[in-house]
Structure 1
Amino acid sequence: MRFRRWSMDRLFERPSGRGLVAVPLGLIVVITLVDLHSPTDVHLGPLLVIAPALTASIAGARLTALVGLLAVGAQVLIAVLHGGLTTSNHISQMIAITLLSALIVLFARARDRRSRELNRVRSVSEAAQRVLLRPPPRRVGPLRVAWLYVAAGDEAKIGGDLLAVARAAHPSTRAVIGDVRGKGLASIGEASVVLGAFREGAHRHALLPDLVAAMDDSVTRNLEEVADTEHDAGEHFVTALVLDIPDEGGHAEMVTCGHPPPLLVREHQVTELTTRNSAPPLGMGVLPDAPLRADRFAFTAGDYLVLYTDGVIEARSPTGAFYPLAERLASFPSLPGGGPDSLLHHIHRDLLAHADGQLNDDVALLVIERVPTRHLLRPLLDGHPMTDRAGAHPDGAPPSEAGERGI
């Protein structure tokens, strides 16, 4: 039984061919019967070559070869029953079907080999992309996190947008969301530089402005090495929003480097957190001589932060209108009781409806909720909750559908 299962799997190779293979087999039967009941001067045998040609489009080379043999056998049967197996007409038809079937099988083998190579390349590419943009933990300290990532490039999991969450030692949680100039696969190298600088610096620098300054220095030094400078040398930069959310104190800090401001959701009230100390985008090497200053704002239990890239607010409707994220957030009827997963699901669904399902730019969304102390499931250790590194939902629910699709 094991050998038989292996043989059939190798024959079909493409699961979609299991049911459709009845079509070419039926054609062989129909063409054979019609030819046998037609006058002797009517020759339908050459049409049998359609069967292996159809099989090649829905199944693998082995099944194509098998159907080709059946087509040749059907032509032999027609010749025998018509009493002319050795006639030049039937011999030429059998030779033609045999040669054409052999050519079709060769093309099918070449296609299958290329398909296997592409599948291997795709699997390696997806693994590399998952390593680069590691999914943020769903529970970190006193926070619950939900995220969405949609790349503009075909077959791509990531593009020019970036997001990450990391723990700091003091204790607090750091988060970054950013947008590389450009979009799609061409921006992956530049996004990797920013993510690497953030992950390295998040644990080293106690103050948020120091972290941002270190990120800018690293990005400025390394960006030109990975950027595509063939057409636009010297014009590479990354907008970014970097957050620091202490476990205690009911507040958070942010440094905005040319990035759209976050939205604070508190009891159905949506507030745009405009910055008073904006910095230029990362990688331009023009940070002000004066030390960077972080903006502090209240972020208490039950509050939500919505971080996003310009691919969200610049998504256009069929009439050309931009997506009004803040207005739409305030209009959601279930806001904010369902947790970050529910809020993210509402935004994603509403965004797709607004854009008629067509998102032409990379999209990244990060929703962060500060959980009330009574809802923390993890015990306190040295004064701060432990991070749930397994990524389990604090309410025991499975991971959000949006988060799983985003990466």
Structure 2
Amino acid sequence: MLLSPALLTVLLSVLAVLTPPEVPITRLLPAAPALAAALWPVGPTLVLGLACTLGVSVYAVMSSDHSTLFTAAAIGLVTVAAVYASHLRLQREDTIAEVRTVADATQKVLLRPIPRRVGPLEIGSLYLTATPHARVGGDFYALADTPDAIRLIIGDVRGKGLPALAMASAVLGSFREAAYEATDLTQIADCLETTLCRDDAAALAQGDPAELFATAVLAEIPRHATHATILSCGHPPPLLGRHGDVHVLDTDDPSAPLNLGGLLTPTFHPRRFAFATGDQLLLYTDGVSETRAADGTFFPLTTWAHDQLDKPPWHVLKGLHHALLEHSGDNLNDDIAALAIRKTA
């Protein structure tokens, strides 16, 4: 691809020599520097354009076809335009590279990398955005390695774009502060609720406070115990893999999403469950469970998980990504986040 301007120049030059003078092949040569503007830096584009201009000029003199000099002039003008276009393209590429660098830094601050090993747990993480080339979206997750337990959160805020990103940032900041101070998941959820009720959170997200809400699942896994606790705030239920079986950790009395418009009094209902060595917990956002095929059918997450949750966490999420792409026909149109946590001791 990068050699195509030079190859096009050689091809047209050979055809111009081999064809009769009445076949004006040289008139096609301006295409070469124009193509180079899209692929090459300024210097090589200028050199190619000058070579074409000079070659056509020599050909016009040797063939006594002075009308070809007009073609040489056209090539010269196209070369000037191509050089300027190449300069603008390089400037825009530099700007895009800077924006991408800022986006990468934002992702590292907002979605801090989760280590593969924390205490007795192996952990894998998956994050995909619906917006092409975006690094972060409205889904979020975080881990807090506290002295007594490992606490995690995964969630999804309402909306998309920068307002959703701002709201996710507020939730994550509150979680990272509360996870080390609160005594249980209910206190953490209360802190998240308080954060979203504040006016500055609404102003940051540039939205109506009555429309700001987020679904989330909080998990607490003690270091030296055979149980764990989850608290779901309007979020899809986690899956628990144990000895080849998959259990859906739903609750009879689910809590409402965080700050559901202030319409409901927040009441949180944690659920405690057995979590022994070899068990694996899968937390995910609705971008996973609501992935649709071309015929509108949802991704069969529970069925898929039966053959997967006995594998290492990062293999589970790699397989999940592949399965979602296959089910949707490479058309994932929602943000996706997932955490796989396996207890090894």
For normalisation by structure 2, the TM-score amounts to 0.92
- In the TM superposition, what is the alpha-carbon distance from 1:106 to its structure 2 partner? 1.4
Deviation at 1:66, TM superposition (A): 0.8
Read off the aligned partner of 1:73 and give its amino acid letter.
L
Aligned residue in 1 for 2:177:
200
AA matched with 1:38: P
Q: Which amino acid is the alignment partner of residue 93 of structure 2?
A: S
**Preserved contact between residue 45 and residue 78 of structure 1 (Cα < 8 Å):** no
Shift of 1:368: 0.5
Deviations 1:229-278 (A, max 9, x none): 2xx66211000111111111211112111111111111011111122453
Listed as ranges, the matches of 1:248-397 within 5 Å are 248-284=224-260, 285=262, 288=265, 292-330=268-306, 332=307, 335-336=309-310, 338-372=311-345
Aligned to 1:402: none
Question: Per-residue CA shift, 1:142-201, capped at 9, x if unaligned?
Answer: 1110111111011112211111111123x1000001011123555211111111111111
Q: Which residue of 1 aligns with 2:166?
A: 189
1:241 touches 1:256 (CA, 8 Å); kept in 2?
yes
Residues matched between the structures, number = 343
- Alignment of 1:244 with 2:244, yes or no, is no
| Whole-Å separation in 2 of the counterparts to 1:316 and 1:95 | 57
Q: Is the 8 A contact 1:152 1:183 kept in 2?
A: no
Assess if the C-alpha contact under 8 Å between 1:24 and 1:52 holds in 2: no
Asked whether the 8 Å contact 1:306–1:366 carries over to 2, the reply is yes
User: Percentage identity across aligned positions?
Assistant: 38
| 2:196–2:212 contact (8 Å) kept in structure 1 | no
How far apart, in 1, do the equivalents of 2:25 and 2:12 lie?
11
Structure 1: state its 5+ residue gaps. 1-15, 373-407
Unpaired segments ≥5 residues, structure 2: none
Tell me what 1:113 maps to.
91
Q: Does 1:166 align with 2:139?
A: no
TM-score, normalised to structure 1, is 0.79
Q: Give RMSD over aligned pairs.
A: 2.1
C-alpha distance in structure 2 between counterparts of 1:96 and 1:358, whole Å: 45
| Corresponding position of 1:51 | 32
Residues 219 and 137 of structure 1: CA distance in aligned 2, closer, same or farther (over 3 Å): farther
SS in structure 2 of the partner of residue 144 of structure 1: strand
Match of 1:137 in 2: 115
Structure 2 counterpart of 1:26, one-letter code:
V
Letter in 1 for 2:189: V
Q: Which whole-Å CA distance do the structure 2 matches of 1:60 and 1:326 have between them?
A: 52
Q: Which residues in structure 2 correspond to 1:20-99 (within 5 Å)? A: 20-34=4-18, 38-39=20-21, 43-83=24-64, 87=66, 89-99=67-77
Query: Hey, what's the Cα distance between the residues in 2 that align with 1:70 and 1:319?
Result: 56
Distance 2:24 2:182 in 1: 84
Indicate the residue corresponding to 1:123 in structure 2.
Answer: 101
